[in-house]
Amino acid sequence: MKLTELVQDMAYTLAAGTLDTDITALEYDSRKVVPGSLFVCLTGFQADGHDYIPKALEAGAAALVVERETAVPSGITVLRVEDSRAALALLASAWFGHPAREMTLIGLTGTKGKTTTAHMLKAILEAAGHKVGMIGTIGALVGQEKVSTKNTTPESYELHALFRRMADAGCSHVVMEASSQGFKLRRTAGIQFDVGVFLNLSPDHIGPGEHESFEEYLQCKSLMFRQCVRGLVNLDDEHTPAVTGQALCPLTTFSMTQAADYRAEDVREERRPGFLGSRFAVSGPMSGAFLLDMPGRFNVENALAALAAADMLGIGREAAAKGLETVQVKGRTQLLPTPGHYTLLIDYAHNAVSMENLLSMLRAYRPHRLICLFGGGGNRSRLRRYDMGEMSAKFADLTVLTMDNPRDEEVEAINEDIKVGLARHDGKYISIPDRAQAIRWVIDQAQDGDIIALIGKGHEEYQEIRGVKHFFSEEQVALDYLAGKKQAL
């Protein structure tokens, strides 16, 4: 492909060489450069691509994209740009033939609920007969095929590679989680979402390697509404006015508490053996009663967002209802089958806000006992551990302290921090550092009417210890132990 074909949508200065250069590959990792590559120099948190120019040239790079003046041998083409990350996104789109333009794109942004809402919307679209791609925290799905990814919103090259794969596989729609880091690092630059959805905002992802402040976090979220055709926003979130203040698209609203274009009301918890869900009514363009196979008001709020987005895309009520009745999200209030009349679930809640939402919701189902099993992440804020301990003590009848991802810290030291928070409400607890052993213990202790929440790991299938990720699936640990108990009967 000629370089001139790749640069049609981007602003640049031709600092050396010619646009008539033949390009054989587009790379931003110097280790992957092959003869004829266009090497894009990205400036990151820990490395600067400009430092690897000699290595890229040695490997045969034919052209470079840089942010600053660079001396190169004759015959090498150099394009100077203001932001090489934005340039990579535009180049990647062109390299893969602009696949995003071939499908309907729905972007979801917010602190909580992106993954759940994405699954709900995917289920609705599939119930309407569409083949759907999905990109987010748990990886990517091309229809039902799972593809591993490194980030919630992948680097722009990988993102457009996924789009091309999805378009070639016949996907008509793509539902993706658009993270604040994705916006900050320009991974979505040049993409136009057909519908952009804002769910909520609360302090998170603030610190080294993430966002410098809450204000920057909010600003990154707001970028969604500068690159979508239509916006859908949650009126119940206090930050919605700030997030949408510079919107360049018309906005549609949804709410659980006030007048909006779409409103959910009359929410009722429904619990029976093997089912923990919600019934609710919706008023607006898509109206009627719906049953959701997931518990809690916050999941109803997610479902309302999915219903509204589906309606804006022309999806009918029948498909919407069918999708919500059948949706399952790995690691998000995921129920596991149990032999007794108790409830066992897995959830990704891993900070105080998400724990409070989850545990307060589970209390609304009036369990005989609410048992919360969790640990804390190593190399992370100790304040988060205190607050998580406080939430568990506030809502749970018993806390089981165990291992999460200790990283470079000792499990016992992490759990001592959690105990500080537990003491704020005199929370009853037991410590079982081995997570598999702890899971087997709570299953043995289960009584009729109990709700047992295994939280913090969610969809993750590893434990990170001293720089090594060891395979660990708490879903599999629980299912294997339950199966063994059943055979023993």
pLDDT in tens, 366-389: 999 999 999 999 998 899 999 999
pLDDT tens per residue across span 115-135 = 999 999 999 999 999 999 999
**What is the C-alpha separation between 292 and 107, in angstroms, rounded?**
22
Question: CA–CA separation, 461 vs 303, rounded Å?
Answer: 26
| pLDDT recorded at residue 209 | 59
Quickly list DSSP for 214-273. HHHHHHHHHGGGGSEEEEEEETTSTTHHHHTTT--S-EEEEESSS--SEEEEEEEEEEET
Tens-place pLDDT, residues 16-67:
999 999 999 999 999 999 999 999 999 877 789 999 999 999 999 999 999 9
DSSP assignment string, 97-138: T-GGGGSEEEEEE-SSSHHHHHHHHHHHHHHTT--EEEEETT
Q: For residue 242, give the nearest of 219, 209, 272 by alpha carbon.
A: 219
Q: Sorting pLDDT into bands at 50, 70 and 90, what band is 217?
A: confident
Q: What is the mean pLDDT of residues 310-322?
A: 97
What tens digit of pLDDT does each residue of 91-105 get? 999 999 999 999 999
Confidence band of 489 (pLDDT split at 50, 70, 90): low
Position 208 confidence tier, pLDDT thresholds 50, 70, 90: low
pLDDT tier for residue 78 given thresholds of 50, 70 and 90: very high
Give me the mean pLDDT over the 326-336 stretch: 90
Q: CA-to-CA distance for 273 and 260, rounded, in angstroms?
A: 35
